[in-house]
Amino acid sequence: MKKRSSEKKECCPENKAGQDEKYMREALRQARKAYALEEVPIGCVIVYQGKIIGRGYNRRTVDKNPLAHAELTAIRKAARKLNDWRLEECTLYVTLEPCQMCSGAIVQARIPRVVVGCMNPKAGCAGSILNLLCMREFNHQVDLTTGILEEECSGMMKLFFRELREKQKKRRAEEICNGALGDVQERQGTEETE
């Protein structure tokens, strides 16, 4: 069993560590699909009565769709499977803390429990920026568990962004070289015509 973060937070007191890690590994498998597409590697699964009924991974860039988040895809598939918009007996597992849009969809779908791999201090709305999942002002609150397989989830994100920065740096260097080469070729062409 992998060591979990000591900062693990729970709205619900029960600890389902074995199950949570099992399904978070499935969410990580989905995140790897996004990674393979050069998308931000976020994965999600929704579990109902011990079975995965919805899977999703980030596809915003590939689909050119700002709504193509892992959570929304998994929610849509789970709702179709249950033939109901209410996912009242489900648990959602996601590798990265949900954004405001996904947190809103989770509340709207009445999902009772969410398990998060790693937090998102820049855009997370399950505790980092604000917590839309546990707001008493809404008609539905979510039991929230964070930090499940946190190191694996955050490690994948860090690796993805490090590789992305390296690719961008290499691309810029190539553009500079190609631009300089183009300038030299242009000057040579000008000198030959004079």
CB 28 within 8 A of CB 153: yes
**CA dist., res. 56 & res. 39, Å (int):** 13
Band (5; pLDDT cuts 50, 70, 90): very low
Give pLDDT, residue 176. 82
Nearest to 60 by CA among 31, 44, 40, 74: 40
Give pLDDT, residue 7. 43
Band (177; pLDDT cuts 50, 70, 90): confident
Angle at 123 between CA 119 and CA 126, to 5 degrees: 55
Helix and strand tally (H, E) in the chain?
A: 5, 5
Residue 31 to residues 42, 96, 118, 154, 182, Cα–Cα distance (Å): 4, 10, 13, 11, 40
CB 72 within 8 A of CB 105: yes
Which residues are tagged catalytic? 71
The residue that leads in pLDDT, 113 or 10, is 113
| Mean pLDDT of all residues in 171-179 | 79
Give pLDDT, residue 190. 57
The residue that leads in pLDDT, 68 or 3, is 68
**CA dist., res. 36 & res. 150, Å (int):** 20
Nearest to 59 by CA among 87, 82, 35: 35
Band (169; pLDDT cuts 50, 70, 90): confident
Give pLDDT, residue 189. 63
Contacts of 159 (CB under 8 A, 6+ apart): none
Q: Where are the alpha helices (DSSP H) in the chain?
A: 17-36, 60-63, 70-82, 100-108, 150-193
Give pLDDT, residue 8. 46
